[in-house]
Structure 1
Amino acid sequence: MFEYTDYHTVFPAGAQVPYDRKRIHEIEARRKDLGGQLFMDRVLKALGISKNKIYPPKNDNGVKQLHQQICESNMSMHHKLSLLYYVLLDFDIVDGQASLSETFASASGMPQKYEIFMKGLWYMDCLAFSTALEYVAHPSLVPDFADDIVITLVQHSSDGDFDLALSYYHTVQPVLKSSKALELIFGAMAQTNVTEALLCSRTYPEYTRELLFRQLIAETLGSKSAQADELAFLPFDSLEEVWFEEYLSSGEGRNLKKAKDTLLVRKIASDRFGEIRTQRTSSQWGPVLEGIKQGIEGQFE
């Protein structure tokens, strides 16, 4: 039987402890970059170990103390193994190959889904988000810490490239619990594909849906992308038409730079669309709308 409570069974004699001054500085820098909290910190707190700065250990004795606290905690054995596995991933960097962590996972009988998830969180803490996504979005996992993962991926997107955040969201389809996570991922969606964002907003109850709809307008008109030009031509339903006009004519959106022009374009497009509505079949709407769009945009050049 694997004795995970024996320190040297988990951390073999001769294994080089990776927590020198440089490594600790790197971990602390990444903690700061992640808003002051690593995913390891979140896991420790969720499992009842809330003592500050327990990770990273400062020296050999610190590793022993961390091992002892994990073993003496009230959490399940699988959770204890998961935390120890995360620490061993640090050891693998010094060892130069993924040997200690893999040996531990195999010998301890650690469930594979725990191994996948903790490795994903470890890569998140290393800011290796593309690699982390291969693990945290694995179909075998329950989407734990989904809000935190979404927030992190959106906030660390560069140059408006939200592919990783949106890939995680669409693959995992988590039920987000915080308004911050929802606002961030919806904002990313709005800046990437306005039609997709509109359809997404319709999946929420009316109050939240209206808030997201307003955010959609603000995000698209406030951006410099082509998404702003598409806003006036989206297929709004009757409720959205009311929200659209109210927000841009008398609501907070009236101060947006393109508010008046967008309202005018929407009205002209709607009027022209109505005039030819009975003259076209459904298969011809695409070319018609594109012609209207090009004609209206020409008036504002």
Structure 2
Amino acid sequence: MALVDKLRIVQRAAATGAQVHPLHRDEAAPALISVEQVGKRFAARGGAEAFSALDDVSMQIRQGEFVSILGPSGCGKSTLLRMVAGLVPADGGRILLGAEPITAPVADIGVVFQTSNMLPWLTVGANIRLGAKLRNVPRAQVEERLPGLLETLGLTAFADRYPHELSGGMRQRAAIGQILLLEPRVMLMDEPFGALDALTRDRLNVELLRIWQRSTLTVLLVTHSIHEAVFLSDRVLVMSERPGRVIHDVMIELARPREPDQVKGDPLYGEYVSVLSRLMGVF
């Protein structure tokens, strides 16, 4: 069955509210991250009622995949990401990195948040080195990796600048650099470009994709942007209203490596945006 025909089936199913299954999946490939029937409930506090943020969430992400999560505001996307990072405990179920349970932050998983956490009294270079210093990465190893990383991120000329001297986009590049310097197996990204203007966001998406395409990094991205998810991802997971759970899993079969003009000129790009818009209830 042609991919266009598969997409039309998905569109019809989305229009009628039917369950949409993955377009395809290699079930034999080992999962790097496994989320198995996970839930999260927050207790009542300060007059606010208790509520369930997540319920029976299951998903698998394989080594080297780029997976995005879409869903309505408040559905638990960021909570799920923090649980995968080991920052928030799960209430039931389990989360694995390979065969090992994730119950606390681990060296193989790095996190990039929407707001840069750079220390204002340190230079850009010192901020990027900081994570490696806290992880006791040998200094010689750090100094060997850093020049190439700064060049990749377009920050070579700004290594001795301070965060307040950088634009928001450049600060986010530095935040990504801090994670990449640690060479994790997994990078989790919680709307890292959400606060940036559209042009800067598009540029950073291109840079992120080029960095990922040259690596073996596994990326899990939380985003509100359907276009961003389609451009970057191998798969897009769609979550329900709160309590959130994964209700759709769509494989993005656009050729790689991807360049903006090539991808956005491909009719399939528009098809995927249309499919996901229907799944999200946009129209």
- TM-score, shorter chain, exceeding 0.5: no
Higher helix share: 1
TM-score of the aligned structures, taking structure 1 as reference length: 0.27
Q: Which has the higher contact order (CA 8 A, sep 6+)?
A: 2
